[in-house]
Amino acid sequence: MGKRYAILGGGGSFGIHSALYLLDHADPELVMGIGRNLMRPEPFSLNIEKRPRYEYHAYHVTYELDLLLELLDRKKPQVIVNFAAQGEGAVSWKHSWRFFETNSMALARLSEELMKRDWLERFIQIGTSEMYGSVEHATTEEEPIKPSSPYAASKVAFDMYLLSVHKFLKFPMNIIRPSNAYCPGQLLHRVIPKAVICGLKGEKLPLHGGGRAEKSYIHARDLGRAIHMVSEKAPLGKVYNAGPALPTSIREVVERTAKALGVPFDQLCEVTGDRLGQDSRYWLDSSAIKRDIGWEPQIGWDEGLAEMVAWGRKYFDELKTWPTGYTLRA
């Protein structure tokens, strides 16, 4: 029997796919998802709570740290993976303190407590490629940090904290900075699931700035595999980018989604103005994680988008009335 894993932010789609990957490939004793909400309905939970050796707990890392630590002390996971964050850089210009409250302060408080626990073998922080800002070339982990939103700045702050407590206090950590992930179960304010549901409903997707911005995308199952490989093989203290070799314009992503849906591109979307602080290109150099532990993405666009369309069709009755906007919560 393998290890016990805890995934903070475990109610989100990436936490769920990472848990599914660990259940399928790591032979775990236990995988715990921990999130601030009760588990969402099946189109988003993907029925993970019915899997053996999995359990889910609703605790808020910012406001219920005492209860979260009591749970962790009972279960003693050797590996903790942290997805917990205030997300959505585009909305972080307003109420930006909330992003620091969770992404920097709450996680520093948690880490300081975890340093007292001898059962913890490795803490894996899921960072963001947005901290490099808009780039002209594939960025390595040594690239100067240039956050272009309060969200990205709040994520940078905790990364810097982790690097310092590893160096001087030997906190056992790694950081993975993934490119944009997508997957079945993702909330509908994200471009790929939103495009799928718009296409199935016969509605138009707003394409900000004509979709010129380029982002790097991976399927969340590839991210789950990166987390598993880092937890097993990576030297402690290392930071790894995890993304594809090349970025893809948002326009091409939507074109590919239209093709997967079998609808014409111009029927699927309409061009709108750009968002505030929209970076023009996210592009990662992921050679370090390939060199050290042998990871690179395996799931291509055709396979990934076919999965997204199949998920949209399967759960269409529930998804067609689900909100597509983003609501900032504590």
What confidence tens digit (pLDDT) does each residue in 241-269 have? 999 999 999 999 999 999 999 999 999 98
**CA-wise closest residue to 177 among 84, 82, 236, 242:** 242
The CA–CA distances, whole Å, from 103 to 153, 157, 161 equal: 9, 8, 11
- Does 62 fall in a domain? yes
Please state, in angstroms and rounded to a whole number, the distance separating the CA atoms of residues 329 and 71.
Answer: 24
Q: What is the mean pLDDT of residues 152-176?
A: 97
In 183-259 the beta strands, taken as DSSP E runs, fall at 205-208, 214-215, 217-219, 239-242, 248-249
- Does 204 fall in a domain? no
Q: Are 126 and 81 in contact (CB under 8 A)?
A: yes
112-159 pLDDT tens trace: 999 999 999 999 999 999 999 888 899 999 999 999 899 999 999 999
- Which pLDDT belongs to residue 272? 76
CATH of the domain at 162: 3.40.50.720
197-216 pLDDT tens trace: 999 999 999 887 778 888 99
**CA-wise closest residue to 87 among 214, 183, 189:** 189
- Does 115 fall in a domain? yes
CA quadruple 18, 298, 314, 53: dihedral, nearest 10 = -30
Strand partners, 145: none
- Does 72 fall in a domain? yes
| Token pair listed for 189 | 């304010």
- Which pLDDT belongs to residue 327? 61
73-114 pLDDT tens trace: 999 999 999 999 987 767 889 889 999 999 999 999 999 999
The pTM score is 0.94
> What is the count of structural domains for the chain?
1
Q: Are 102 and 288 in contact (CB under 8 A)?
A: no
Q: What is the mean pLDDT of residues 262-291?
A: 82
Indicate if the pLDDT at residue 330 is higher than 80.
Answer: no
**% of the chain at pLDDT higher than 90:** 85
| Token pair listed for 263 | 């609808």
Look-up of token digits 């982790």: 162
Indicate if the pLDDT at residue 328 is higher than 60.
Answer: no
Average pLDDT, the chain: 93
Q: What is the mean pLDDT of residues 191-196?
A: 95
Alpha helix segments (H runs only) across 82-138 = 96-100, 107-114
- Does 193 fall in a domain? no
